[in-house]
Structures are given as structure tokens and as C-alpha cells.
Chain A
Amino acid sequence: MDAIRTLLRELAALFVDDGSLAISAILWVAACALGARLGLPSGWLGAALAAGLAVILVENALRGAARKS
């Protein structure tokens, strides 16, 4: 059981080490998916998806840099 828990923890850690980065990225993707459903123009939506993810990355990195530990 411990081995399975360790394995699952290791697998999850491949994608999430900072929960806020993962959650923000997923929420942004969901928002863009909603925009696509509502028929927003693809060009703008694509740019928004990429730009939003870039902002999330930089914001998260800056917060990481400010962390003392």
C-alpha cells in the first residue's frame, strides 16, 4: 500500500509541484474553452490562451523567487 501511495505521489509530482501554478493554468484553459464554446474568434482566443499562460508562469515564478525557503 505504501509503495502504491509513493508511486501515485511520484506520478502526481510530474505535473504538480506548485499547486497554484497547476490550478491557475487549468482554470485559464477552462475559461478559454468557455470562450471557444461562446464562439469567440479563434485568433484572439489563441493569443489569449498563450498570453494568459505566460502571465501565470511569470507571476508564479516571481512568487517563487520571493519565497525565502
Chain B
Amino acid sequence: MLSFHAAPAMTAAFLASLVEFVEALTVVLAVGSVRGWRPALTGTGLALATLAALVAVLGPALTRIPLEVVRLAVGVLLLLFGLRWLRKAILRAAGAIPLHDEEAAYAGETAVMQSYGLVRDAAWDAVAIGTSFKIVMLEGIEVVFIVVAVGAAGGLLLPASIGALAALLVVILLGVALHRPLAQIPENTLKFVVGVLLSAFGTFWVGEGIGIDWPGADWVLLGLVAGFLAVALAAVPLCRGRRALVLAGD
């Protein structure tokens, strides 16, 4: 089971982490460019250390709880998380809600940082450290949840952690190289794929948690992924049509 599920688990963790860290990078870049890189990176480093500690503590701690209980509880949370991401990705793809705009987010955050007055490279710029810390924690907590949930319910803490770390490395390298928000990353496509994967994982583990003996054992996970993908893709034009009807009726 471990090697069969490792690839989708690593993929889900990598893609979800990529999305979250790109959003965090936008704010950290704004903070760094306006208020100085030392406080921006200090806040970021503190947050990453806190997140790593959370994974190190929570991941193994959850393995002490009976697996059936963990699978059901974590499966439900993963399912709700995945369905939430997938629903929003469907609505964005259908044009019902706007796409996330990294350039606009960067401009907005830059303006906010400038409004606090210029304190460039101060030894302890609380605004810069606090803003960086907060955004990396907020975005990173979703990564921690995915890594810990996938790890606890499926015994896949290592592959999920590797996926998340790989995404962090990619984002850091791109951020250092480009020094601007990663607006070209197809964020909604990534969220769509992550939503499908997490909804499938969640359904699988919820099923195991309530006593369903999935026919075909682990192969059914591939079927769930294919099923959620097909349904979500079909939902996009349906939502687009529904939205057009509502707007035409105005």
C-alpha cells in the first residue's frame, strides 16, 4: 500500500504546497522590497521553523491513536478540505468567482507596507517580521494539515513531507531568481488537481474508517481520482451555463 499511494500523496502535497508557498512568496517579496530583506526573511524563517516543529510533533503523535479512528477523523477533514478547494476551483474555472491575481496581491501588500512608514532594514522591524511570519504561518498551516493528514491516515508522512519540501525549494529558488510574484503559475489548475486528489483520498479513508471494504483494494483510489476529475470537469460548463442564465435574467 505504501508504494502505491506514495506517488499521489507526494503529488498532492507538492502541488498544494506550491500553491500555498507561491501566495506566501508574494507577500514576503512585498515586505522585503519595501521594508528590507532581513526582517522579511527573519519572519519567514521563524514561521517555517514553527511549521516544521508542528509536523514533527503532530505527525508521529497521531500514529499513537488507533488507525480506524484516525482514518475516519482525518478522512472527514481531508474530504471537507478537498471538496472546498475543488468547489472553488470549479467556480473560478466557470468564471463565477475571480481568479487569484498575484500581481494585484503584490501591489496591494506593497501599498500596505509603505503605509506604515519607511523603516528600512531596522534591526527589529516588527511590522515586517510580523507580516512575513503571519502569511507564511497562514499559508503553511494548510500544508502542515495535508502532510500530517496524509501521513497519519495513510502512513505516508515521509512522501508527503518530501513533496512539501520540494515545493518549498522550487518556490524559494524561483523567488530568488525572479524577485517578483510568480503570476505565471496556473494556480487554479493546481488547486483543481489538488482538490481532486484530496477529495479522492478523503473519500477512500472515510470509507475505510466507516468499515467499507473497498473492492479492488488500493486500485479503487485511482478510480476515485478519475471519478472526481470527470465530475469536476463536467461541472465547469454546467456552472458556466447556470451563471450565464442568472446574469442574463438581470
* Count class of interface residues, chain B: 35 or more
Q: Report the separation of the CA atoms of residues A17 and B235 in the bound assembly, to the nearest whole angstrom.
A: 19
Give the interface of A toward B (CB within 8 A).
10-11, 14-18, 21-22, 25-26, 29, 32-33, 36-37, 42-43, 45-46, 49-50, 53-54, 56-58, 60-62, 64-68
Is B207's CB under 8 angstroms from A46's CB? yes
**Which B-chain residue is minimally distant from A56 (CB atoms)?**
B83
Contacts A14-B145, A15-B77 known; A66 to B83 CB distance under 8 Å? no
B215 touches A43 (CB 8 A): yes
Contact A14 B142 (CB under 8 A): yes
Q: Is the CB of B239 within 8 A of A21?
A: no
A22, A36, A50: which contacts B80 (Cβ < 8 A)? A22
Q: With CB as the reference atom, state the residue of chain A lying closest to B246.
A: A66
> Would B76 and A14 count as touching, CB distance under 8 A?
no
Are B80 and A49 in touch, CB under 8 angstroms?
Answer: no
Q: Does B37 contact A (CB under 8 A)?
A: no
Q: Which residue numbers of B lie inside 8 Å of A, CB to CB?
A: 76-77, 79-81, 83-84, 86-88, 90-91, 94, 96-97, 138, 141-142, 145, 199, 203, 206-207, 210-215, 220, 224, 227-228, 231-232, 234-235, 238-240, 242-243, 246-247, 250
Q: Besides the contacts A25-B80, A42-B215, A53-B199, what 17 more A-B pairs have beta carbons closer than 8 Å?
A: A14-B141, A14-B142, A17-B88, A21-B83, A29-B206, A42-B213, A42-B214, A49-B203, A50-B203, A53-B83, A53-B203, A57-B235, A61-B94, A61-B235, A62-B239, A65-B91, A68-B246
